[in-house]
Amino acid sequence: MTGSHKPESGSDKPDFDPDFRARLHALLAWRRDVRRFRREPLPPGTIERLVGLAHLAPSVGLSQPWRFVLVETPARRAAVRANFVRCNAAALAAQAPERARHYARLKLAGLDAAPCQLAVFADRATAQGHGLGRHTMPQTLDYSAVMAAHTLWLAARAEGVGMGWVSILDPAAVCAALEVPGEWHFIGYFCLGYAETADTVPALETAGWEERRPPQEFLIRR
């Protein structure tokens, strides 16, 4: 697949062969936005290891703006859950009636069962990186934190750990509940744990909410 180009220079470069690529593609296909978790906890050290791997994500100007908050105390988890319930009701009300009936049946959060809950933020005030690459596009700090969360997601799935992104939340309420610094911008709230099932089909497609469309529809030439 890589053609007959000359090899890169660089010592100890790993060999990413066709077998690895096939399994990487399987990882991408089997990664799911998990909503149904078993309650058993992750083994000690799991989340710390996954956060360490997330640290290998790209970041604008090497700013590493990602901030991970492991949410452990019952009161804070309850505050996030209550905020989800409130926002979910508002989202339900915003849907067309026939869609709203469908929406109400979707189980949209694993907040009650997931043993591990992680909030991700971007520190928009970080001095690290000395501003490089973000002068015209400051949102690249947020994007860097998104890629760290996505890296964690893939690394988790490779360990058999499922992850789900909860976005039906009011960012200000989450920041308040978790008492994070004011310059931290909320990116997402993630549930982690062992998934009840494994699948290559998104739950929203199985539930009839939406279908995936083929890649060629999303590539144009200029």
Positions 140 through 199 that interact with its own copies (CB under 8 A): 140, 142-143, 146-147, 150-151, 153-155, 157-161, 165, 167-171, 178-180, 187-188, 194-199
Q: Note whether 70 binds its own copies by CB under 8 A.
A: yes
For residues 112 and 198, which CB has a smaller minimum distance to its own copies in the complex? 198
d(CA 55, CA 146): 12
Q: Note whether 129 binds its own copies by CB under 8 A.
A: yes
Please name the residues in contact with 155: beta carbons below 8 A apart, sequence gap of 6 or more: 50, 53, 54
For residues 41 and 112, which CB has a smaller minimum distance to its own copies in the complex? 41
Written as one string, the DSSP assignment of 48-74 is HHHHHHHTTS--GGG---EEEEE---H
Q: Note whether 124 binds its own copies by CB under 8 A.
A: no
119, 178 Cβ separation under 8 angstroms: yes
- Closest distance between its own copies and the C-beta of residue 124, in Å? 13
Q: Which of 35, 42, 175, 190 contacts its own copies by CB under 8 A? A: 42
Q: Note whether 131 binds its own copies by CB under 8 A.
A: yes
Q: Note whether 35 binds its own copies by CB under 8 A.
A: no
Scored b (16 or more CB within 10 A) or e, 67-84 reads: bbbebeeeebbebbbebb
Helix or strand or coil: residue 188? strand
113, 107 Cβ separation under 8 angstroms: no
d(CA 57, CA 155): 11
- Closest distance between its own copies and the C-beta of residue 207, in Å? 10
- Closest distance between its own copies and the C-beta of residue 7, in Å? 8
Residues in region 83-112 near its own copies by CB under 8 A: 87, 90-91, 94-95, 99, 103, 106, 108
Q: Note whether 82 binds its own copies by CB under 8 A.
A: no
